[in-house]
Structure 1
Amino acid sequence: MTWARQAGSSRPAEDKGWLAGVKAEERERMVVRDGLAVRTVAGHCKDAEECAELLAMLGLDAADGRRPTVE
C-alpha cells in the first residue's frame, strides 16, 4: 500500500494564490522561450516559405518572435 500526502499549506486559499503566481511566471517564461525559438528558426531559414513551414511544425506563430515593447 502507498501513502499519499497532500502538498501545500493547510489553507486551500493560500495554495490557489501561490499556484496562480507560479502559473503566471511560467506563462511569462514560455512567451520569452517561444520568442527566442521563432527568432532562431527565422535566422536559419532560406526563405519565408521555409520559415513558415518550420514554425508550423513547431507549433509556433511568427508574431511570437516580435520583441516586447518597453512601457
Structure 2
Amino acid sequence: MTAFQIKVLAALLMLVDHIGAIFFPKIFVLRIVGRLSFPLFAWLIGQGEKHTKNFKLYLVRLIILGLISQPVSYLLFQW
C-alpha cells in the first residue's frame, strides 16, 4: 500500500469511530474498528519524520495542526 492509501484507510476508520461515537454509542464494534486508525496515523507520522529534510519545520507543522484541531474537536464533541 502507498502512504496515500494508508491515509485514506485510516481516515475511513476514524470516520467509522466518530460515527459510532455520535450516532451509535452502544455499538462498540464501530468504536473498536475505528481505533485501528491510530496506529496507522502514528506510523505515517513516523515515516514523515524519517523522510523529512527539516525536522523542526515538520514538528512545527504538527504542533500547529494540533493546536487548530483540538479546539474544533472540543467544540464538536464537548469532551
Structure 1 and Structure 2 fold alike (TM over 0.5): no
TM range (shorter): 0.3 to 0.5
Q: TM-score normalized by structure 1?
A: 0.42
* Structure with a larger share of its residues in helix: 2
Q: TM-score normalized by structure 2?
A: 0.39
**Which one has more relative contact order, counting CA pairs under 8 Å at least 6 apart?**
1
Q: Which has the larger radius of gyration?
A: 1
